[in-house]
Structure 1
Amino acid sequence: MEHNVVFFFFITGLVFGSFYNVVGLRVPHGKMFSSSRSACPSCHNILSWKELVPLLSFFYQKGKCKHCGKAISPLYPIIELFTAVGFAFCCLFINSPLEIGIGLLLVSMLAIVFVSDHTYMIIPNQVLLFFLPLFIIYRIIVPTNPWWLSVLGGIAGFGLIAIIILLSKGGMGAGDMKLFSVIGYLVGFPHVFLTLFVATIYGLVFFLLQKLLHKGESPLIPFGPSIILAGGTVFFYGSTLLDWYFSLYY
């Protein structure tokens, strides 16, 4: 029975991952609710349902548009597979239904932000304004102790990135600042500081991987996905990480 549930979450993740690709690409242009059907970005041919099956269509078409032969961005299957694995992970390793919900939200936000940040270097306000109320509702149901640590975490998250922007003279963007404020509200204070540290580690790993893939070049790396991934890590394992760290000195 458990395997069936995990499989259900995996398939659901594939479907949502396909949708998150669309959201991440359309929202920055204000076209999310456009009535236009999905089309090839190169030849603009309308895609049939066979070309829109999550993950399978990419491999069936050998990574190319069947109309014009242009390569399909690997971002599509990557996001679909990531979302599927992320949903299955939440089902397998999180016990509380409420925390499973938060895990699914974090995976969803990460997928959307990765698409928009990777493609346009933009984190849309509409995306943050969608997820923030859901995190607020969660913190009303399961408040930090004391409750105002969530608010302080949001303020600290905003302030930390604002300071980095000023010191680096624009090394990070306002989208990162607002995103970190949302994540700071979720993880609370003082875990927001640990989140920044973990996000920096993730960002460094992504930078090194990209540099290897680009043969020594220094590509621009969006920091938004690292922030969300770090937020999820700290939300679920922050106390464990801190206990482990302090155990090294005592």
Structure 2
Amino acid sequence: MQLFYLSYFFIIGLVFGSFFNVVGLRVPEKKLFQSQRSYCPHCNHTLSWYELIPVFSFIIQQGSCRQCKRKISIIYPLVELFTAIMFAYSFYIFGFQLELITSLLLVSLLAIIIVTDLKYMLIPDRILLFFFPFFVIMRLFVPLEHWWSPFLGALVGYGVLAVIIIVSRGGMGGGDMKLFALLGIVLGYKEILLAFFLSTLYGSIISIALLALKVVERKKPIPFGPFIVLGSLTSYFYGDFLIRWYLTTFL
């Protein structure tokens, strides 16, 4: 039965991941509710249902549009797989507990952020505002260890990024600051600090690797959103363990 539910959440994640791609691409351009069906961004070919099967259509079409043969961005199947894996993993960790809803909402938000930040270098306010009431409600129903931790987490997440933006004179964006404030509600004050540390650690290591491999140019800006995703998920699922390990090992 466990395997059945894991498979179910994986498939549901694939479907939602495909939708999150659409949301991430259309919200910054204010086209989310347009009636036009999905289409190829290169030749405007309207996609048929069999061209929209998550991951599988990309594999079958060898990553190219059937009409114009132009390459399809690898972001599409990666976000679909990311969402599917994290939906299934969320169920594996929480089962049918209320916290599962929070976890699925968090994964959904981060999946959309991956798309908007990689495509537009932008974290839209409308996305953050949409998820805000849901996270607040979930933390009321499933509180953290201290009831005030989500509120302090939001202040800490916002404040730390605000200080960095001021000191670095725009080294990070306002979208990152608002995102960390929202994540602070989910994670609490301790885990949001850990999430920030891990995000910068992941960002430094991966950026150095990309520069060494000449995947990106030295002075070309690198989106920080995907690193926030990695840091936040690590902190969300393993924050308590990592903090306890650090305190018992080094203090």
Map of 2:221 onto structure 1: 220
Evaluate the alpha carbon distance shift between residue 139 and residue 17 of structure 1 in structure 2; reply closer, same or farther with a 3 A threshold: same
AA of the residue aligned to 2:240: S
- Please, what is the CA RMSD of the aligned residues? 1.7
Separation in 2, partners of 1:96, 1:246: 31
Matched, 1:161 2:161: yes
Matched, 1:118 2:118: yes
Map of 2:128 onto structure 1: 128
By how many angstroms is 1:204 displaced? 2.0
Say which SS state the counterpart of residue 71 (structure 1) adopts: coil
Contact 1:183/1:228 (8 A) holds in 2 = no
Map of 2:236 onto structure 1: 235
Say which SS state the counterpart of residue 250 (structure 2) adopts: coil
Separation in 2, partners of 1:208, 1:88: 31
Q: Which residues in structure 2 correspond to 1:46-85 (within 5 Å)?
A: 46-85=46-85
Map of 1:205 onto structure 2: 205
Contact 1:179/1:224 (8 A) holds in 2 = no
By how many angstroms is 1:30 displaced? 0.8
Contact 1:150/1:189 (8 A) holds in 2 = yes
Please, what TM-score do these two structures have when normalized by structure 1?
A: 0.93
Identity of aligned residues (%): 48
Separation in 1, partners of 2:155, 2:182: 9
By how many angstroms is 1:146 displaced? 3.6
AA of the residue aligned to 2:9: F
Gaps of at least 5 residues in structure 2 are none
Separation in 1, partners of 2:156, 2:23: 29
AA of the residue aligned to 2:207: F
Instruction: Deviation per CA, 1:62-95: give whole Å up to 9, x if none.
Output: 1111111111111111111111111111122224
By how many angstroms is 1:2 displaced? 1.3
By how many angstroms is 1:124 displaced? 0.7
Separation in 2, partners of 1:215, 1:146: 44
Separation in 2, partners of 1:215, 1:222: 14
Please, what TM-score do these two structures have when normalized by structure 2?
A: 0.93
Contact 1:25/1:116 (8 A) holds in 2 = yes
Map of 2:42 onto structure 1: 42
Contact 1:110/1:229 (8 A) holds in 2 = no
Contact 1:206/1:221 (8 A) holds in 2 = no
Say which SS state the counterpart of residue 248 (structure 1) adopts: helix
Evaluate the alpha carbon distance shift between residue 63 and residue 146 of structure 1 in structure 2; reply closer, same or farther with a 3 A threshold: closer
Separation in 1, partners of 2:59, 2:83: 18
By how many angstroms is 1:180 displaced? 0.4
AA of the residue aligned to 1:69: K
By how many angstroms is 1:25 displaced? 0.2
Contact 1:103/1:232 (8 A) holds in 2 = no
By how many angstroms is 1:212 displaced? 4.7
- Give the number of aligned pairs: 250
